[in-house]
């Protein structure tokens, strides 16, 4: 590791890409977000007719093979890796690294990866059978011994390997020839925000010139839905799924599961300038904390989120007065929305009600490990277009959540500096601060 002491390099964003329930092209998804469209609908991947929650935010009409240079390298990938390949390929091309590499300018020993990806999940119908052996639909439970026995009889070795959470890392390394630092973290819903923050630190230490970073995840499968139902974390608004994700409303009843991936390309400013890259934004600050409270609930006063936001501001050398927009975690659970609101109020004081903030989870659901990077890309686009997306379905505000969540309609506002929050089950909290490049 480089231990020389010099002014830390500026870290900039030069490429973005995502695969989401609203589509898998940056501009079209962004326009749908600004229009306040919902990507939520009935679960179609398995028979959910007996589940308490029968809807989600699926990625639809997506073929990862159209994004990669050689699909044969990646045969057998599971959805999390498939999503990561598409998002990374978009970001790679957006950054112009395909052209730069073709010209022989890329030093792959200085090219790194830092992902926040969840575990892969097999196709239940293909590997366990359409009757989901060991599944008790009436009780909404799984007999684990029977299920795993059925899976073991039908699963091949490659599929078993592809379930590991580091497989997106391995496939992206193959696709782009990464020979520098390569890491994966899995800190639940904070993972991809942490990955971007830690990738920034790797580059500040001088260990890479370019980092591919972000995350991918899906938990839209019987075990994932069952687990969150047992935690009473999911909305059960089956009669109106497109309005079920309703952060900061008085009648919110849980989050909506989403899936997908997002990738951003980070570079040192010197490297980006040398190759003439278009710079989309700058990472100014990163903060991380732990609640040390409960594994399923945030501390009601939001002390962990408050600490992460303050660390990020300190790292950026900024004050709360310099934040123009907040991408809130905003899950649509009672505990999260209240605690995050409390933390923002404590940090921003009298200015808190005047800072626009929104949750795109109201439109695309909760992408779990991939949520943070998608919301980071939202910040990049908000700075570019001077427009912030809405929090939809916000018609009946919770009196305890009384900040400006940009209800239902996108808004044009001056956006120079953004703060992005993400929190994970277990009490992990991560915050990024981004600035429009100047």
Q: Which residues are catalytic?
A: 189, 329, 366
- Tokens read off for 275: 């190759």
Q: Is 96 helix (H, G, I), strand (E, B) or coil?
A: coil
Residue 301: CB atoms within 10 A of its CB come to 14
Under 8 Å between Cβ of 373 and 215: yes
HSE at residue 306, side-chain half, CA atoms within 13 A, is 17
Residue with tokens 């890796």: 81
Residue 42: CB atoms within 10 A of its CB come to 12
Rounded Cα distance between 33 and 360, Å, is: 7
Under 8 Å between Cβ of 252 and 398: yes
- Tokens read off for 54: 């029968």
Sign of torsion, CA 152 158 161 163? negative
Residues 6 or more apart in contact with residue 144 via CB below 8 angstroms? 134
Question: Cα Rg for the chain, rounded, in angstroms?
Answer: 21
Q: Are strands 55-56 and 182-185 parallel, antiparallel or unpaired?
A: unpaired
Residue 370: CB atoms within 10 A of its CB come to 34
Angle formed at CA 65 by CA 98 and CA 157, multiple of 5 degrees: 115
Residue 275: CB atoms within 10 A of its CB come to 18
Our measurement of the distance from residue 301's CA atom to the centroid of its chain's CA atoms, rounded to an integer in Å, reads 24
């Amino acid at each position: 590791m480089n231990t020389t002491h010099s002014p830390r390099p500026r870290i900039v964003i030069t490429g973005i890409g995502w695969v989401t329930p609203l589509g898998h092209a940056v501009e079209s998804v962004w326009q749908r977000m600004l229009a306040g469209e919902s990507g939520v609908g009935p679960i179609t991947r398995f028979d959910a007719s007996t589940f308490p929650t029968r809807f989600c935010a699926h990625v639809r009409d997506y073929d990862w093979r159209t994004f990669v240079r050689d699909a044969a390298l990646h045969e057998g990938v599971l959805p999390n890796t498939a999503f990561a390949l598409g998002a990374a390929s978009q970001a790679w091309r957006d950054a112009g690294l395909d052209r730069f590499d073709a010209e022989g300018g890329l030093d792959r020993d200085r090219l790194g990866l830092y992902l926040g990806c969840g575990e892969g999940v097999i196709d239940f119908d293909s590997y366990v059978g359409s009757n989901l052996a060991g599944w008790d639909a009436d009780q909404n439970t799984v007999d684990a011994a029977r299920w795993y026995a059925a899976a073991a009889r039908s699963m091949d070795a490659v599929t078993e390997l592809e379930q590991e959470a580091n497989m997106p890392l391995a496939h992206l390394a193959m696709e782009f020839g990464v020979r520098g630092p390569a890491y994966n973290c899995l800190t639940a819903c904070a993972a991809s925000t942490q990955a971007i923050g830690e990738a920034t630190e790797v580059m500040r230490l001088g260990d890479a010139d370019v980092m591919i970073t972000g995350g991918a995840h899906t938990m839209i499968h019987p075990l994932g839905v069952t687990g969150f139902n047992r935690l009473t974390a999911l909305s059960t608004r089956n009669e109106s799924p497109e309005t079920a994700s309703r952060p900061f409303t008085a009648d919110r009843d849980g989050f909506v599961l989403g899936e997908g991936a997002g990738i951003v390309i980070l570079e040192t400013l010197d490297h980006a300038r040398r190759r003439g890259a278009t710079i989309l934004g700058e990472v100014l600050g990163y903060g991380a904390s732990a609640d040390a409270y409960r594994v399923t609930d945030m501390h009601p006063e939001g002390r962990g989120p408050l600490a992460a936001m303050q660390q990020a501001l300190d790292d950026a050398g900024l004050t709360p007065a310099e934040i123009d927009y907040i991408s809130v975690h905003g899950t649509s659970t009672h505990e999260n929305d209240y605690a995050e609101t409390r933390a923002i109020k404590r940090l921003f004081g009298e200015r808190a009600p005047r800072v626009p903030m929104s949750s795109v989870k109201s439109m695309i659901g909760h992408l779990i490990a991939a949520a943070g990077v998608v919301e980071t890309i939202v910040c990049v686009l908000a700075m570019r277009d001077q427009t912030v997306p809405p929090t939809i379905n916000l018609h009946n505000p919770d009196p305890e959540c009384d900040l400006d969540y940009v209800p239902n309609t996108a808004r044009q506002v001056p956006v120079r500096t953004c703060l992005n929050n993400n929190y994970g089950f277990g009490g992990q909290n991560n915050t990024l601060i981004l600035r429009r490049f100047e």
